[in-house]
Structure 1
Amino acid sequence: MKSFRTWNIGRIRQNLIQMLAMGRTFVLLMGLSIVFFILLGIGGLAEQSLNTSPVSSMKGLAASLSSRFFVDMVGMEIPHLDKGKKEASTFSGQHMTNFVFQLLTNVNPSDPKSLLAREVPGLAANNAVLLRNGSGNKDADAPQDYHPDSSKQIEIPNEATTPPESSDPPSTSEDHGTRPITDKVVMIYHSHPQESYNPLLGTLGDNPSTAAFDKNVGIVGTKVSKELEKKGLGALHTLADYASSVQGYNYNFSYKYSKATVKAAMTQNKDLKYFIDIHRDSAHYKKTTNVINGVSYAKLFFIIGYANPNWRKNEAFATAIHERIEKKYPGISRGIWGKTSAQGNGEYNQSFSPNSVLIEVGGIDNTQEELDRTSKILADTIAEVYWSQQKANKVDTSPKKESKNKKIAPKDTVPAEEAVPGT
């Protein structure tokens, strides 16, 4: 008997229609995806050319990811990479939940103020934006600003101990001690010169009214400037105290006062090209201190004022310092942050030079010993960046061949304009 195969024409037609519908949907989705990525690319190019603020930049998002994130990601394919790791994975439930929540809502779960800032007008006016995170800031905590209350009196604690000379870390850059010190090329100043460290307030001596300023953040500037000169860099350190010298002093005009100081210094010192405004963070000891090989160090914040249209150049300068410190002393840098405004000056005086940056050294509880160690590292690194830039910018001074048509003066003849009387 012959077997006959029956065909269900209706079912075949139905399946064919379904396949065509799926194909049409697939083509439509593919086309929409292509258009989406084209628009995304155009938007990125437009952002690079039109927007000078890093707030909406993907760089801010990438910076919020720690280096550990990428190590863990590669470790998913290379198991031995994670061997011996003591830290919790960045793909843990807590880390991923916090990251996704902050990405979607712009609210940091570990910082309740970020929630209030969305609802209270003016509270988010000076929010810091993360540009490049540091290994010393795993929770991506922003710098904490402090506005002094003149009605409160500071209590002086018991006397703090003075660190031994051996507490200094080893040099982090080539020693230029044999090189003659340059003219004043680096300026160290303080827009908030009365920011203090609690442990240092106990070393004021017999006359606190005259010695208080010497034990404020200025002591860090003094250490940095001295270490810079050991590396061959002439440093100008100003201890201008605006609260006691400016009539009608207003804390909100701090950066206007320091701007006048910087302009005056530039007028008197034509070689000044590097400007470091040293501050102190208002966070407590746990967040502002790191222990490396049993030795404690004050941590650092780098602040960029992006009301300055050329803020990217200042960020590049800060990055050069940050990356060198990250490599040699991981855990000291708390990253590079951008701010939208400051007291009367949203650029933090950084438009004077691309080699300008505001650096916060330690917090209110750091000791002089910890500050000195970090100050030396900071000075060594700034010197390293300076000398590397000088090497890169060095002009070829070799004698050039004279033109054939140009008359050459006799060897024993000195041009009149170069002649020196008495020679």
Structure 2
Amino acid sequence: MNRKWFHLWNIGRLRSKALDALALGRTMLLLAIGSLVFFILLGTGGMAGERLDNSPLPSMKGLAASLSGGLFKELLGMEVPHLPKSKEPSALSGGNVTSFVFQLLTSVNPGDPKSLLSREVPGMAADDAVLLRKGSGGVEGAPVDYHPGADEPAEATPAPTSGGSAGAQETPLPENSDAPAPSSAPAQDSGSADTELKRIMIYHSHPREAYNPLLSAKSDNPSSADPSKNVMMVGSYITQRLEKRGIGTLHSTVDYATRVADYNWNFSYKYSRVTVKAAMSENEGMSELIDIHRDSQRHDKTTTVIGGKSYAQVYFILGRSNKDWKKNEEFANKIHQLLEKRYPGVSRGIWGKSSGKGNNGEYNQSMSPNSVLIEVGGIDSTEAELKATSDILADAIADLYWSSHKAEKANTEGGTATAPAAQ
């Protein structure tokens, strides 16, 4: 009898274990199936996201770009005792490491509270700037766009004060028109035959971006139709410098809020595209298109001092929706590298931006591989700072121009092209 109960007890025990194993197996199977479905959906969503995201920077999502070159040097220094020590603060500081690890695990940048919401609010991260090339002027802050609270009212535009071919396209531009506008006024000859051919165009998609010191104001969003108080002044300085260097330069001083019927700020790049298209159709040799803006950050984030002289810093901006962005990046990088070599601290680097409020995703850069948007200074930059930066920026552009056109000019004239020296 005891043996019978013993066998029954063993059978019951084995049955209980078998049921437990089956339950555990079923649970594991459900978890495996659920994980498989999750990763399939995740992969499908990722593939769909890649197709929908026309960004040409899939491997440059900000985190990788934020790694300091000093970090790798310090890591090497741990193994190579005689590697020269950098005078810069350690990239392996507690704050840097903590910030990097936190961003790696959460995709949230502790220095940018907006990144916490941008993953949850559709469209909030659409215009996030992505660092492509670092500038010695610092990368702790991305460029900040100019966003007027409402469409800017039309105002009477004072007479332009720019050099070169100022006043280009001074007639109204239809909002939806791609037709060329009337011819621009001829530029004054600076003594070089080359200035008769317009090779470079300086223009402004946001011409009313202004500077507080020029307005004697303290605004977070200074705006003005006066070309002596907004980015047109910077364009004038650059144009005059390029003309002195013997390069024909066209400067557009169109104030779209005044010239365009039913003006809408959100169509800014649509308006400027018409201007650029018309200028290119009238100037066959025009190859370089530079859209001058200003940043919307304060003075401490847009200024540097070199040799006791204060300079407005610059950002180079590329449109991430432009399929040929690499050619534009190559052009921008040549200017950037010249500034880095001659005036380290002036450039805040090259940044890629996608479509957002008030732009077309490519900043009209598909019109020429030698096209770039450059932000010069911030809302608090002084005239002296803007003039100083305009001169060195124009010299970099001029040197690049003469270098790239030397062979062309030599073939045309049967001799060696000589670039006029900066005055």
TM-score, with structure 2 as normaliser: 0.69
Cα 1:311/1:151, change in 2 over 3 Å: closer
Secondary structure in 2 matching 1:290: strand
Say whether 1:117 aligns with 2:131: no
After superposition, residues 45-194 of structure 1 pair within 5 angstroms as 53-57=55-59, 63-76=65-78, 77-79=80-82, 81-82=84-85, 85=87, 87-139=88-140, 141-150=141-150, 180-182=193-195, 183-194=197-208
Cα 1:96/1:247, change in 2 over 3 Å: same
* 8 A Cα contact 1:131 1:338, kept in partner: yes
Task: Name the amino acid aligned to 1:235.
Answer: T
Residues 153-185 of structure 1: per-residue CA shift (max 9 Å, x gap):
9xxxxxxxxxxxxxxxxxxxxxxx985434110
Q: CA deviation at 1:107?
A: 2.2
Of the candidates 371, 388, 398, which is equivalent to residue 386 of structure 2? 371
Q: Quote the residue 1:25 is aligned against.
A: none
* 8 A Cα contact 2:256 2:263, kept in partner: yes
Say whether 1:256 aligns with 2:270: yes
Q: CA deviation at 1:315?
A: 0.6
Q: Quote the residue 1:380 is aligned against.
A: 395
Q: CA deviation at 1:67?
A: 3.7
Secondary structure in 1 matching 2:228: helix
Percent identity, aligned pairs only? 59
Q: Quote the residue 1:406 is aligned against.
A: none
Q: CA deviation at 1:331?
A: 1.0
Q: CA deviation at 1:51?
A: 9.1
Task: Name the amino acid aligned to 1:107.
Answer: V
Q: Quote the residue 1:266 is aligned against.
A: 280
Residues 119-173 of structure 1: per-residue CA shift (max 9 Å, x gap):
222211111111111111242x2111121125999xxxxxxxxxxxxxxxxxxxx
After superposition, residues 13-32 of structure 1 pair within 5 angstroms as none
Residues 264-308 of structure 1: per-residue CA shift (max 9 Å, x gap):
111221111100000010010111011112211111100000211
Residues 312-346 of structure 1: per-residue CA shift (max 9 Å, x gap):
10011011111111111111111111111142511
Task: Name the amino acid aligned to 1:339.
Answer: K
Worse-superposed segment, 274-283 or 92-101: 92-101
Aligned residue pairs total 320
Secondary structure in 1 matching 2:216: helix
Counterpart CA distance in 2 for 1:345 and 1:107 is 27
Residues 84-117 of structure 1: per-residue CA shift (max 9 Å, x gap):
x2x3201111112222333343322111112121
Counterpart CA distance in 2 for 1:58 and 1:211 is 37
Q: Quote the residue 2:367 is aligned against.
A: 352
Q: CA deviation at 1:395?
A: 7.3
Counterpart CA distance in 1 for 2:224 and 2:381 is 22
Residues 18-71 of structure 1: per-residue CA shift (max 9 Å, x gap):
xxxxxxxxxxxxxxxxxxxxxxxxxxxxx9xx9973432259655433343344
Q: CA deviation at 1:253?
A: 0.5
Q: Quote the residue 2:334 is aligned against.
A: 320
Worse-superposed segment, 126-135 or 59-68: 59-68
* 8 A Cα contact 2:136 2:348, kept in partner: yes
Counterpart CA distance in 1 for 2:125 and 2:240 is 38
Q: CA deviation at 1:212?
A: 2.4
* 8 A Cα contact 2:207 2:225, kept in partner: no
Counterpart CA distance in 2 for 1:398 and 1:136 is 41
Q: CA deviation at 1:262?
A: 0.5
Secondary structure in 1 matching 2:84: helix
Unaligned runs of 5+ in 2: 1-49, 154-189, 218-222, 415-423
Counterpart CA distance in 1 for 2:131 and 2:327 is 16
